[in-house]
Amino acid sequence: MVIDSLEFARRQDCLSGHLRLGALQRLNDVLFDADGHLDYQIAGEMAGNNAFLKLRIGGPLRLTCQRCLGPMEFDLEVSNQVMLIESGAPWPEDGQFGGLEDETCDAIEASRELDLLPLLEEEIILALPIAPRHEACQPPAEADLSRSVSPFAQLARLKRQ
């Protein structure tokens, strides 16, 4: 997945397909498991003299809950654009479109051999919650503790089944 980024934008090319989760090494560190895939779409676009890549990535993920360490379903939906800066051209300043504080548009250096996989992976990781947690769950240590102090609770649970 390597493109000539400026050409891609000028031609208003479009690429789409599936991303296998197992192929995304950095993302795997935060996933509960790496089964499945995400859908992605990349579209080149020009606005005046500026070249952009519009990125859309979506699909279900299973994150690891930071409290109970169990799986947590998360519907990923990324919609972002990246401004391509030609090497040597001025970088957008803070506060400008595409600048550091702009959450709707990142800037990257244009490349004739832009590898899309790390770019997509970065966008996915940025879109994840920092500390994913179920709305209500128990840390595993506490769950074990309550079981050991109250054998009757466990018995009652068995009877109900």
Residue 67: CB minimum distance to Zn ion, A = 5
Which of 37, 54, 62, 67 touches Zn ion by CB under 5 A? 67
Q: Cα separation of 43 and 54, whole Å? A: 5
Two structure tokens written together for 122: 């970065």
Residues in region 88-127 near Zn ion by CB under 5 A: none
DSSP state of 100: T
| Under rule CB under 5 A, residue 68 binds Zn ion | yes
Q: Which is nearer to Zn ion, 63 or 116 (CB)?
A: 63
> Does 65 interact with Zn ion (rule: CB under 5 A)?
yes
137 binds Zn ion (CB under 5 A): yes
β-pair partners for 43: 14, 54
State how far the Cα of 83 lies from the Cα of 105, in Å rounded to an integer: 7
Provide the pairing of β-strand 105-109 with 71-85.
parallel
Q: Is 66 in the site for Zn ion (CB under 5 A)?
A: no
Query: DSSP letter at 22?
Result: G
Nearer to Zn ion, 20 or 133 (CB): 133
Minimum CB distance to Zn ion smaller for 75 or for 101: 75
Q: Which residues pair with 57 in a beta bridge?
A: 40, 78
Among 37, 56, 62, 134, binds Zn ion (CB under 5 A): 134
Looking at residue 93, its amino acid is E
Q: Does 62 bind Zn ion (CB under 5 A)?
A: no
Binding site for Zn ion (CB under 5 A): 65, 67-68, 134, 137
